Amino acid sequence: MRLVSFGDLVLDVIVALEAPLVRGDDRPATTRVGAGGQGANVAVWAAALGAEARLVAKRGVDLAARLLGDELEARGVHLFGPCGGETGVVVSLSSGSERSLASDRGSSPELRADELDPAWFDCERLHLSGYTLAAEPIASAASRAVELARAVGARVSVDLSSANHIDERFRERVRALDPELLFATERERERFGELSTSWIVKRGPAGVRLDGVDHAAAATELVDTTGAGDAFAAGYLVGGVELGLEAAARCCATLGSLP
């Protein structure tokens, strides 16, 4: 199965705190640095789970972009998209079951529809990060990506990604795409409102709810929840709900968002 993930490629900085931060002082921490961004996370997990995975994203032209491109290639992901500007950085402060993000998306949101090559979207599944629908010009590029993928018979899924960017314009963009499947947290689902499609609601340690049916989370040793939702999405798209829950459990047992 060929899956195309459409979204960001950023430098992920994971900071696992041993205790809460103290204003104006120091705290010990364990860190991880590598490829990240919701688009990249889904593509890497899909490749690890047996799919032919592609990531379409706008990359920077700096050293970080070259390092991230090399990492994705080593992980079996085919990377497509134009280069320009600077690589984004996302810092995740993790304390096990909870995390907080500080996000600089770099040049990723500058991807334009006229920069897309139809050949990139020859796939069975197109998965879009909700961040791509939060602003222009990448929102128009996402719409064009859906058009190109559907022209070859692909099914489209969208992850709402964050409740903070869900406003009426965002809702209009999602509805215009008419995705076959929506991924959301409970807060995102409530904030978005109604849409006639299949919903997968991610409920953290309670598992997921698929079209109203609950599925329990797989047992795991909790280290860090960063990227668990992306791992689930990749697993679900590749092999269904059980593979998705297994991938999420694997992700939670390691520091960082990648397998």
Report the chain's C-alpha Rg in angstroms: 17
Q: Which residue has the tokens 């080593």?
A: 74
Task: Write the CA distances from 233 to 135, 148, 159, 168, 207, integer angstroms.
Answer: 23, 22, 8, 25, 12
Q: For residues 240 and 231, what is the distance between their CA atoms, to the nearest angstrom? A: 12
Which tokens go with 60?
A: 């920077």
Cis status of the peptide bond prior to 137, with omega within 30 of 0: yes
Among all residues, which ones are annotated catalytic?
Answer: 230
Q: How many other C-beta atoms lie within 10 A of the C-beta of residue 134?
A: 21
Task: Write the CA distances from 198 to 170, 181, 211, integer angstroms.
Answer: 18, 5, 6
Q: Which candidate, 105, 89, 77, places its Cα nearest to that of 234?
A: 77
Amino acid at 41: N
Helix (H) or strand (E) holding 199: strand 198-202
Q: How many other C-beta atoms lie within 10 A of the C-beta of residue 24?
A: 5
Sequence-distant (6+) residues with CB within 8 A of 28 are 18, 19
Q: What is the CB-side half-sphere exposure of residue 160 using CA atoms within 13 A? A: 28
